[in-house]
Amino acid sequence: MNMSASTAAARASLPYPIVLLGRDDSGKAHASYFSATDGHSAKKAAGLMGMVTLRADTDDIRALMAKIPKGKLFDSGKAFVPFVKQALFKQLAAHLPEEERMIADRPRSATSETVVASEANGGGQAQAPVKPSQLAEDWSKLKIGNLVLATEGPMEGWFEATIIEIKSNGALRLKWRDYLDTPPFDRPIAQVAMLHPKYVEA
């Protein structure tokens, strides 16, 4: 084995952060990165979600990785992969082999992610994702089924979530609108934001 082949083999065996990217069933771009230690699980999640993975093994990819949010792995085996800007998505996808780039750029067809198990109804019933027309006019009129904005943290961005329970202390039980297989979560009402009543999804 010559030096260049040996170097390439050693490079391929090194652990690197992993970027997950792909489009949802409406064609919106998603991408996030995972640490090298989560690389194996991230690759499995990509397979389950119809996304592709990109190894951050060059300076160019690592520079782009710094512009996208960190992902989160769930017990279901899937992952939280937030929205990203189209231009950034295209820059990431340009580093993929042609076949994988075509997969990443193809909208994911809706399958089991088209219904939500509502804990407010005991977890036994399912409901369709909330339409933008089901928005509250003001804070005093929030009810189950309304759409609000929530975040995972200061650097994670804000995303649509459905109210599935309003607790006696005023806290909200929420479910991500676009990540229907992820677990519900609680947020104090002061930590969510409302969409404008005339909001229309772009």
Mean per-residue pLDDT pooled into runs of 10, the chain (202 residues): 49 76 86 92 89 93 92 86 90 92 76 31 39 67 87 77 88 83 86 77 50
116 and 132 assigned to the same domain: yes
Instruction: Name the domain boundary from 104, 134, 155.
Output: 104
Task: Tell me, yes or no, whether 57 lies in a domain.
Answer: yes
pTM over 0.85: no
7 and 100 assigned to the same domain: yes
CATH of the domain at 182: 2.30.30.140
Beta carbons of 82 and 136 less than 8 angstroms apart: no
Nearest Cα residue to 49 out of 103, 126, 9: 103
Q: What is the CA radius of gyration of the chain?
A: 19
For the chain, the first-to-last Cα distance in angstroms comes to 54
